[in-house]
Structure 1
Amino acid sequence: MRIFVYLIVFFSFFDLFSQLPVMSPFALSLGATPFLTGLAVGMYSFSNTIGNIISGFMTDRRGPFVILLIGLFASGLSLFLYSFAYGPLSLLGVRFVHGFMEGLIVPAAFTFLANRAEESKRGKSVAISGAFVGLAAIIGPAYGGIVASKTGTPFIMAVNGGIMLLLAICAFFILRSFTYVRKHPSSQANRFRVKQLFQHPGMVRAFAGAFFLMFSQGVLALVLPLKVESLGFDTKTTGLLLSAFGVVAILIFLLPTNRIFDRVRPVVTLAFGISLMGLSMLFLSQVEELNFLYAAMAVYGIGFAFLFPSINSLLIDSSSAEFRGKAYGYFYAFFSIGVVAGSGVIGALDLNYKGAFMLTGIILLTVALYALIGIRKMKRTTA
């Protein structure tokens, strides 16, 4: 069962990453202006955020199985709508529907995994799920770029839609025996208010980690190609650099090193991971040789590999099953917002690649320090 849910996580992120290299050219091919092109790219994240939050509330009310099934079917169908996008405005509509429906899947899937993870192995469990996310980040963009050059964006989306529909059918038969329905809501669930999520220090740190993880990803997506180009290399080199960090992260996720996430407090590994990411950004701002760029991305990959399981473990430790769906809904909403904020803030400040990497590095190191402040108080709150 767990392996199948991991596959759902993989293909959900695979769908996201496979569209990254193709959506801007597709929008331009439909006659979109630069503004509408940017809007089309960002529309997915906007509606995905809404879908994440609604998924969290519905998951707690109906159980993750039902929401997961609805998300897979609806997302699969929405992917076929790209074939009917004949102009910029219709594309905006399709992007909104696609992002919203896709947003239903991930919070429900991770709630499914979290509610069935042994407490002593929850760190290892989220590390394995992180490996599937990392694998999607490596394969997805390459698949999208290669296939789009030979066929077209609607074909890629249709293939992804077919996979989602197949997963939905399989999920109906494989996961229905694990359906979770709460017949009598607990008193804790009845008393729960959303503001409580943002008052719990562990939850706040998990949300902050999710936001700034993807903030750094947005900066990388915007700035790394510019730096690579300024050094005289092509886009292939950028792809290899991004793949390098993904490979390093996956190795840490899958090797026996993943046991550390069950033995060390997640707030400590969170601070360590985001510190490494911050240091790698500072390193990227200074180095000019390709070998050093690969070294910096390897350090970033190690930091990513420590951060992702840590924030998931922190969320699990800071929530109970009654409201874990809502927690994951807001958690992945911060993911969606973070990547847009990263590229948006750097773009608005009009920084060169050196300034952009330095600013991001300083921000990440500040967040690492914040994660460690009040650690004893957070321990008492969690208890």
Structure 2
Amino acid sequence: MDKLHIFLVMFFISLIMSVQSPIFTPYAAMVGASGVLIGIMLSVSQLANLTGNLIAGPLVDRFGKRIFITLPLLVSGILFIAHGVVGDSVSLLALRAMNGFSLAFLIPAAMALLSGYAKNSVQQGKNMAINGILGTIASIVAPVIGGQLGVSIGYANTYFVIGSGLILTSIYTMKFINERQIVMMKRNSKTVLSLWDVLTTPGLQVVFLTGFAVMYIHGVLIYEIPYLTVEKGLSTAVTGQLFSYFGIGTFISLSLLFINRFDPVKRLILGLFGMCISLFALFNSLLSLSILVFLIGVFFGIMMPAMATALTDVVSSEGHGRAFGVMSAVYSLGMIFSTFFTGIIRSFISPYFIAFLIGMVVLTLIGYSKLQSPSPTKSY
């Protein structure tokens, strides 16, 4: 029952947070932000998130997970409400930075708490996949809701709805989320790792490299798709639908639970290769945008549970907070680079092409790493 509450909270978080995805860029443009400044806003938010992730990991392991789920939700809800009353782009930039820092504590704590409810690597993968399925359902529905809310009640009022939803979710966690972990993973030769060990462990470096590439690609989509609203005068409802295509693709691949029986590193390689090929087709206009966004979502869904499983295959439960904190920081780093460079380069080179190059470079590095260490991590 405790695990059910965690799944529900993660679902609510994904649902509420994804509502803003189609409205932030046009809202920022409305309050006077240029294309470059919008990229900086997204980057600063992720930079604050990265800083918080590195701080969060050791604190989560030391003081427990529950408080770092409840408190960030409450603070973030207040900050999102403040988004709705912002009067200029500088204030919006400051709010984005503060919100990014507050949310940095949330995901490592929630993932570390969820990871305690598994007996082995396969069950761990299924838990992460189920969590991914719920999050993906939210990501399918929420952008459409966000786009429609932006049209019907306006951007500012939509942020009031987002903030209120997060505050209600925080109240829910106070009542139903418990610190106790009912199941412990079986351990073989795993040891508790320090933060430095997490950063330098070869088995984790592959995960972190892949996570960076995936989030760079994801960041390009998050920037480019809503910018169609500004650039081509499309409705936010249309950009919301494009995000939903991504979510549908992710949902389909996450629903194939048998995939979790395969080596997570091989799943990472397959998923990243698929994302790169889709990007290649995207910047060459080989297929429609909706189909390619859907395919990128499919490969994204293959990779996300694999990254979490590969991490927990190496790190003991006592170090999950640190490990998930570093992984979240790497995700933030990928988003920082992608949103910042996309805002700068999009006027003279396709951001999709740069994302393709980065994905292929990381894929090459992972292949080289596998050749140097031929024994793969087993997931079963």
After TM superposition, the score normalised by the length of structure 1 is 0.83
Deviation at 1:229, TM superposition (A): 11
- Shifted more, 69-78 versus 98-107: the winner is 69-78
- Label 1:196 to 1:87 Cα distance change in 2 as closer, same or farther (>3 A): same
RMSD, aligned α-carbons? 3.4
Are 1:266 and 1:313, in contact at CA under 8 Å, matched by a contact in 2?
A: yes
Q: How do 1:224-235 residues align onto structure 2 when only pairs under 5 Å count?
A: none
Matched residue type, 1:155: N
Q: 1:327 aligns with which of 323, 327, 331?
A: 323
Is the partner of 2:22 in helix, strand or coil?
coil
Q: Which residue number in structure 2 is paired with residue 206 of structure 1?
A: 207
Q: Which residue number in structure 2 is paired with residue 250 of structure 1?
A: 251
Are 1:215 and 1:342, in contact at CA under 8 Å, matched by a contact in 2?
A: yes
Deviation at 1:33, TM superposition (A): 5.1
Deviation at 1:267, TM superposition (A): 0.9
Deviation at 1:315, TM superposition (A): 0.9
CA-to-partner distance for each residue in 1:85-119, whole Å, 9 max, x for gaps? 23333323322222211222111111010012221
Deviation at 1:160, TM superposition (A): 2.1
CA-to-partner distance for each residue in 1:309-337, whole Å, 9 max, x for gaps? 11010111111122110111111121122
Q: How do 1:162-241 residues align onto structure 2 when only pairs under 5 Å count?
A: 162-176=164-178, 178=180, 192-222=193-223, 239-241=240-242
Q: Which residue number in structure 1 is paired with residue 62 of structure 2?
A: 61
Deviation at 1:226, TM superposition (A): 8.5
Distance in 2 between residues matched to 1:132 and 1:236, nearest whole Å:
22
Distance in 2 between residues matched to 1:358 and 1:324, nearest whole Å:
31
Distance in 2 between residues matched to 1:36 and 1:353, nearest whole Å:
16
- Label 1:299 to 1:159 Cα distance change in 2 as closer, same or farther (>3 A): closer
Distance in 1 between residues matched to 2:88 and 2:230, nearest whole Å:
32
Are 1:205 and 1:311, in contact at CA under 8 Å, matched by a contact in 2?
A: no
Q: How do 1:39-78 residues align onto structure 2 when only pairs under 5 Å count?
A: 39-78=40-79
Q: Which residue number in structure 2 is paired with residue 183 of structure 1?
A: none
Q: Which residue number in structure 1 is paired with residue 333 of structure 2?
A: 337
Are 1:49 and 1:337, in contact at CA under 8 Å, matched by a contact in 2?
A: yes
Q: Which residue number in structure 1 is paired with residue 278 of structure 2?
A: 280
Q: Is 1:103 the equivalent of 2:99?
A: no
Distance in 2 between residues matched to 1:271 and 1:246, nearest whole Å:
21
CA-to-partner distance for each residue in 1:23-50, whole Å, 9 max, x for gaps? 2333343344555444333332222222
Q: Which residue number in structure 1 is paired with residue 152 of structure 2?
A: 150
Distance in 2 between residues matched to 1:230 and 1:35, nearest whole Å:
14
Matched residue type, 2:27: F
Q: Which residue number in structure 2 is paired with residue 305 of structure 1?
A: 301
Deviation at 1:150, TM superposition (A): 2.4
Are 2:26 and 2:230, in contact at CA under 8 Å, matched by a contact in 1?
A: no
- Shifted more, 40-49 versus 320-329: the winner is 40-49
- Label 1:354 to 1:150 Cα distance change in 2 as closer, same or farther (>3 A): closer
Matched residue type, 1:132: L
After TM superposition, the score normalised by the length of structure 2 is 0.83
How many residue pairs were aligned?
369
Are 1:82 and 1:157, in contact at CA under 8 Å, matched by a contact in 2?
A: yes
Are 2:43 and 2:340, in contact at CA under 8 Å, matched by a contact in 1?
A: no
Are 2:148 and 2:237, in contact at CA under 8 Å, matched by a contact in 1?
A: no
Are 1:40 and 1:92, in contact at CA under 8 Å, matched by a contact in 2?
A: yes
More helix by share: 1
Query: Equivalent pairs: percent with the same residue?
Result: 25
Deviation at 1:60, TM superposition (A): 0.4
- Label 1:230 to 1:267 Cα distance change in 2 as closer, same or farther (>3 A): same
CA-to-partner distance for each residue in 1:266-289, whole Å, 9 max, x for gaps? 111111111111222223233445
- Shifted more, 310-319 versus 273-282: the winner is 273-282
Deviation at 1:227, TM superposition (A): 9.9
Matched residue type, 2:335: V
Are 1:281 and 1:361, in contact at CA under 8 Å, matched by a contact in 2?
A: no
* Larger RCO, structure (CA 8 Å, separation 6 or more): 2
Q: 1:129 aligns with which of 128, 131, 152?
A: 131
Structure 1 unaligned residues grouped into runs of 5+: 181-187
